[in-house]
């Protein structure tokens, strides 16, 4: 700042202090210099004072309020347009403040699961997967669930959210997902400007809940990159596209990722996640097809035997999930065995369908029309 500008600023500050009340009739140059002495500890020369006063008058920052000497001055009253502009700026600041309040208080209750399909916890050692996941939620531990399709990985995460009654969000790592979808971006505000909108991951990091990134080993590199600082000990997201805001993870935030086994060729587009990322998951659980659970979910012995036989076949690569069995059983109830078989066979690759058809025919020959084993078969067993 130039010396003259500095003088003008201190003169203007002195005038402001002396004429702050409505009752004030203004301040003379001498009174202004006395006030400057209180501010700076010294007086200014008369030439400097008068030069600053003249320039402030010319710029409209102060105004003369007397016509006779000694002249008195005060801070210039704002024009109607200036006052309107100032009110607009105040309103804008207030709106920004309210927006920040909304960010802090955003209600995610709509994401809390209100219902949940039947989930049977799987035994892991002396406890269950759900009990392990509950402890991980309490301790803020990142969890990786690995297993073939239809083994109940995402159902386990949703069931956890249902039991805890906390917000739940599942995002699939398909080709359409972008870092902006997760972190956030500026969007039109409807009045010609733009406003920042948190992405779905940022919302959960900020406010808490269980966030599931499905099929993480199919995610593009730019998605994995944004996860590193969130999944390490810092547990934070930096909104670089906004203003560099650092969003620390809520104590009620839990990150779960799922993945299909990368070593199995049937899952196209998947790959092994790198060691650095995998190391950020404190708990890894493996989900396989569990016959004990399937006996409780799938009542038809015939359907369970079909699943078992096809899984053993070296010629079948299509995943035979528990979900597939549930849907096959339901199709039999709704449409009858012949139609259900055709629907079931259509799930497989063209080169597998004949093998599946032969397997169904062979197994069904042991059962009566209701899907119950013939008496002779039972006696032999």
What was the pLDDT predicted at 5? 64
Per-residue DSSP letter, 233: T
How far apart (Å, rounded) are the C-alpha atoms in residues 356 and 373? 20
Q: Do the beta carbons of residue 298 and residue 325 sit within 8 Å?
A: yes
Whether the ω angle into residue 196 lies within 30 degrees of 0, i.e. cis, is no
> Contact, 256 vs 145, CB < 8 A?
yes
Q: In the prediction, which pLDDT does 1 show?
A: 41
CA distances 100 to 104, 106, 185, 251, 253, Å, are 6, 10, 15, 20, 20
Mapping DSSP to helix (H, G, I), strand (E, B) and coil, where does residue 213 land? strand
- DSSP states of 46-72: HHHHHHHHHHHHHTTSEEE--SSSSP-
* pLDDT at residue 94, as a whole number: 64
Residue 254's pLDDT is what?
97
Which tokens go with 291? 């016959």
Q: Which runs of consecutive H residues, i.e. helices, occur in 108-220?
A: 129-139, 153-164, 179-183, 200-207
Both structure tokens of 97: 């403040």
Cα distance from N-terminal residue to C-terminal residue, the chain: 98
Give the separation between CA 74 and CA 306, rounded to whole angstroms: 94
Q: 10 Å Cβ neighbour count for 255?
A: 24
Distance of CA 315 to the CA centre of its chain: 41
Q: Which segments within the chain are labelled E, that is strand?
A: 62-64, 73-75, 123-124, 127-128, 143-147, 168-172, 184-188, 194-198, 209-214, 236-239, 245-248, 253-259, 283-287
**CA angle at 294 for the pair 288 and 295, rounded to the nearest 5°:** 140
CA 19/CA 150 separation, integer angstroms: 77
**Gap between the Cα atoms of 6 and 17, Å rounded:** 17
Distance, in Å, from the CA atom of 271 to the CA atom of 269, rounded to the nearest integer, reads: 7
Residue positions counted in the chain: 381
SS (H, E, C) 174-185: CCCCCHHHHHEE
Give the residues of the chain that fall short of pLDDT 70: 1-5, 78-106, 175, 262-271, 368-381
């Amino acid at each position: 700042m130039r010396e003259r500008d500095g003088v003008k600023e201190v003169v203007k500050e002195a005038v402001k202090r002396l004429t702050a009340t409505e009752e004030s009739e203004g301040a003379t140059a001498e009174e202004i210099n006395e006030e400057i002495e209180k501010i700076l500890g010294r007086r200014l020369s008369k030439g400097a004072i008068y030069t600053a006063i003249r320039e402030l008058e010319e710029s409209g920052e102060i105004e003369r309020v007397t016509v006779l000497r000694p002249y008195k001055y005060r801070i210039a009253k704002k024009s109607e347009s200036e006052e309107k502009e100032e009110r607009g700026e105040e309103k804008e600041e207030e709106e920004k403040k309210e927006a920040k309040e909304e960010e802090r208080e955003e209600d995610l209750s709509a994401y809390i699961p209100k219902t949940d399909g039947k989930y049977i916890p799987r035994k892991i050692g002396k406890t269950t997967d759900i009990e392990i996941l509950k402890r991980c939620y309490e301790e803020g531990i990142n969890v990786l669930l690995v297993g073939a399709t239809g083994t109940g990985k995402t159902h386990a995460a949703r069931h956890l959210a249902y039991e805890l009654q906390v917000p739940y969000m599942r995002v699939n790592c398909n080709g359409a997902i972008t870092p902006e979808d997760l972190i956030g971006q500026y969007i039109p505000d409807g009045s010609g400007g733009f406003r920042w909108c948190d992405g779905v991951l940022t919302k959960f990091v900020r406010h808490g809940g269980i966030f599931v990134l499905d099929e993480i080993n199919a995610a593009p590199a730019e998605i994995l990159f944004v996860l590193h600082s969130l999944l390490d000990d810092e547990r934070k997201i930096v909104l670089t596209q906004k203003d560099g805001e650092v969003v620390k993870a809520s104590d009620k935030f839990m990150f779960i990722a799922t993945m299909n086994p990368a070593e199995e060729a049937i899952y196209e587009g998947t790959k092994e996640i790198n060691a650095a990322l995998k190391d950020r998951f404190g708990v890894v659980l493996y989900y396989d097809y569990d016959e004990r659970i399937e006996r409780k979910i799938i009542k038809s012995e015939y359907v369970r035997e079909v699943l078992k036989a096809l899984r053993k076949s070296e010629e079948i690569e299509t995943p035979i999930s528990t979900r597939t069995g549930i849907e096959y059983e339901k199709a039999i109830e709704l449409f009858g065995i012949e139609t259900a078989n055709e629907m079931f066979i259509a799930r497989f690759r063209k080169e597998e369908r004949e093998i599946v058809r032969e397997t169904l025919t062979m197994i069904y020959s042991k059962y009566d029309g209701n899907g119950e084993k013939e008496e002779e078969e039972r006696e032999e067993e």
